[in-house]
Amino acid sequence: MKLINFPHLVQAEIYKLMNYGDVFIFSLTSKKCTQSIENVRFKEIYLIRINTDAMRNTVKATVVFQNGEEQQIVELCPSLRFYEKEIKNITIFGQKTEYRYRNHRTYYPSASRQELTYFLYNQLHRLFGKHTIFEFVMTGKWDCLPIIPNIKRSIMNSLENTPAEYLDDYFKALPAQEIVKISMKRLYGNLSPNSKLYEAQNLKISCNFMSPDILFNFKGKTAILTGVHYTKEDICQFLKNWKSKTSGINLHRLNVFIDKGFDDFESINQIVDTKKITVGVPEELLNHQGETFDSYIVRADGIVAWLVISRIKISLHVQDFTEEEMLKKYNIDH
């Protein structure tokens, strides 16, 4: 390849003008090509997403740019489809494959999704990993949960029932996650009280049946929980725990969607001693993401949390000021 003979600065500028799929394929042609790309800083990359799809039996990598736009790097497929055209032979990860240039799709004669995921991640991490967030997306079955040590974001979508130990084992091997999104049919068993899933900074779970333990053990900043079976007693106990600083110490925002709803939800206000906001606080402070908070609770250290309680939803929004500071600043009547 003549490009390898150019000065490094010239190579870097050429790589930055190339499609990322082309850069990836070019890196596989020789060790020198890989090394020349490793030294380039691709500042426009925000994250790289690796997606395993059990339904299609594919592994795909996509780059997400700082401006939110996306570009597919490569898609690895298990076999050649007869209707594909513009196919070229290429050796990747030691295997002879069929490669389609137009959509950067590569066909493997034989390989598991887990193997392909590891191969793909290792190469992408070498090329772009020094300054890049990696996100793992699993769609379909739980039979492919590769342990990728530098993954910071995990998104899992499955219609299957999920043994709790699958999630415990997966997150145990990873650093604390920035973002976790899980959609599943049902969780069998309970997560460990020390599960690293609870350490995710931002957590979103949708599940037809799951223990309420996650509400009490969550250590991160924001959580959206849907479909988990909560009783009124669970909600009251959590709010009491938050007030006493025994649960949700780091919590900033919580949304809990109650699948069957509470007919007597208003009694929660009396049980946890909520306080109504009548006048004083500017509306822009009480309106957040389409919600208007009308009451609040106070933690043991004086910190305030806006609160909305309805038949099907509980929303908590922790503030950075105390009740005393709020009353003094806004002259609130409560």
Beta strand pairing status for 222-226 and 253-257? parallel
- Highest-pLDDT range among 18-22, 132-136, 198-202, 223-227: 198-202
pLDDT band per the 50, 70, 90 thresholds, residue 97: low
pLDDT band per the 50, 70, 90 thresholds, residue 146: confident
pLDDT band per the 50, 70, 90 thresholds, residue 105: low
| CB-CB contact of 138 with 145 (8 Å) | yes
Q: Per mean pLDDT, which range of 54-58, 109-113, 167-171, 292-296 is the poorest?
A: 109-113
87, pLDDT greater than 60: no
Q: How many CA atoms lie within 13 A of 308 on its CB side?
A: 19
Please state the rounded mean pLDDT for residues 185-205. Answer: 93
Please state the rounded mean pLDDT for residues 190-204. Answer: 95
CA 75 to the chain's CA centroid:
21
pLDDT of residue 277: 78
pLDDT band per the 50, 70, 90 thresholds, residue 111: low
Contacts 24+ apart (CB under 8 A), 290-295: 291/315, 293/317, 295/269
pLDDT band per the 50, 70, 90 thresholds, residue 83: very low
DSSP state of 145: -
Average pLDDT, the chain: 84
Sign of the C-alpha dihedral computed for residues 46, 52, 206 and 203 taken in this order: negative
208, pLDDT greater than 70: yes
Q: Locate the domains of the chain by residue range.
A: 1-142, 159-227, 230-334
Please state the rounded mean pLDDT for residues 300-310. Answer: 93
82, pLDDT greater than 50: no
Count other C-beta atoms under 10 Å from residue 331's C-beta: 10
Give the percent of the chain with pLDDT over 70: 84
pLDDT band per the 50, 70, 90 thresholds, residue 93: low
User: Under 8 Å CB-to-CB from 62, ≥6 apart: which residues?
Assistant: 48, 49, 51, 70, 71, 72, 73
265, pLDDT greater than 50: yes
pLDDT band per the 50, 70, 90 thresholds, residue 145: confident
State how far the alpha carbon of 19 is from the alpha carbons of 14, 63, 68, 149, in Å.
10, 11, 16, 27
Greater confidence (259 vs 174) lies with: 174
| DSSP-derived 3-state class of residue 31 | helix
Query: Closest Cα to residue 126, out of 46, 62, 51, 40?
Result: 40
Greater confidence (30 vs 316) lies with: 316
pLDDT of residue 110: 55
What is the DSSP track for 57-124? TEEEEEEEETTS-EEEEEEEESS--TT--SEEEEEETTEEEEEETTTTEEE-SS--HHHHHHHHHHHH
Greater confidence (192 vs 293) lies with: 192
pTM recorded for the entire structure: 0.84
| Distance separating alpha carbons of residues 144 and 151, to the nearest angstrom | 15
pLDDT of residue 65: 94
Residue type, 333: D
